[in-house]
Structure 1
């Protein structure tokens, strides 16, 4: 007898799992925070579940986010729509804090000067031995920037509490010409480019300057990253 087909995992489940991993929490941790059974957290993550608003509120609180974020209500909105907090202050981050926030992979932006002037491009990045690796198309403006200095930025915005952080790296970018080395780096990457196939030209940014800033709001929950 064939096993019953499993329901496809829904968008809420994917967002819950991604946020849980981002916070380095187990399902047991989230269950304790949300007052639920670990089995139900697994069900929400792996099945096409539609939790009630009461549970979603507790789950969002457990994951230090909002119901809007979990349900995808902010997907097509730019970050930073919240009003400025009354008692906010900005602090500079040291290089160690910047490296911690940068993590080992993520999505950021590179700024460079192209033929038509300055341009900013989103990229998926990987951190390898203190350098930032990403891939692009052979004929992209970024591929043409090899041997020049560019800026790379990544950030996080918390609309709920009007706070966030940003990290900026400035340095020279180079192309990996050896195809075997390029293949090794592509295979080591956590993710391929979200923009799709055809972006196999490997670039590496060696930062000469790393800076960052964080907006701190009194009485807001502390960031875990």
Structure 2
């Protein structure tokens, strides 16, 4: 991997972004800190410092080696692509497109994340991002009454989750289709709140829980 490192990419990042991005990327690849350090040619203790010290500022050479070891770009590690839409890279020469099985789709949905909810509204379909959880095999999310996500209750909806690897121009997507139902039992709503991984990133009170009764779960993957 060859890449030029601009001063903006190194200096312009938010404090602490580098460590979080390094940790997230090596976790995605299933690498330990020791394995990553060996690949990048740095001491494990120094990599720990980079991951845990918000003010750490490695040189351009170290950033390049880390990006190479983590199969990504310096631009991504330093947060330069934060304000850009995903998928800006060119397609690979020989991409392979495959359909995912139901089991693979549900494994990729995992236990929680952020997905895109397609809601039918009076002016037309609207797509909004929401934090979701998968609890006892059911996809659930919460909303504030009167908001766009809350309008999904009682309607057929689509819910999409995806992941893109910018460095390799590959990724996957999972689509869930079914009817959204509001959770009206207070005990059930309380149980979901207790088991949810996170409150919504948007903050505020969102006490209305909805579940999607999945009629169809499909997915696809692009690899190189």
Q: TM-score range by the shorter chain?
A: 0.7 to 0.9
SS of equivalent to 1:154: strand
- Who is 1:198 aligned against? 205
From 112, 124, 136, the equivalent of 2:119 is 112
- Which of 47, 56, 63 is the equivalent residue of 1:41? 47
Question: Aligned match of 1:141 in 145, 148, 152?
Answer: 148
| Residue 183, structure 1, aligned to residue 190, structure 2 | yes
Query: 1: CA distance between counterparts of 2:107 and 2:17?
Result: 28
Cα-Cα RMSD: 1.8
Q: Secondary structure at the match of 1:117?
A: coil
Tell me the CA shift for residue 111 of structure 1: 0.6
Is 1:96 matched up with 2:119?
Answer: no
1:158-187 CA deviation, whole Å, 9 max, x = no partner?
Answer: 232222211101111111112232122123
Pair 85,73 (structure 1): closer, same or farther in 2 beyond 3 Å: same
| TM-score normalised over the length of structure 2 | 0.86
Paired with 1:201 and 1:25, the residues of 2 have a C-alpha distance of 38
How far is the alpha carbon of 1:98 from its aligned partner? 1.2
SS of the counterpart of 1:192?
Answer: coil
What's 2:17 paired with?
11
**How far apart in 1 are the matches of 2:201 and 2:141?**
11
Tell me if 1:20 matches 2:26.
Answer: yes
C-alpha distance in structure 2 between counterparts of 1:64 and 1:83, whole Å: 16
> Scaled by the length of structure 1, what TM-score is found?
0.86
SS, match of residue 88 in structure 2: coil
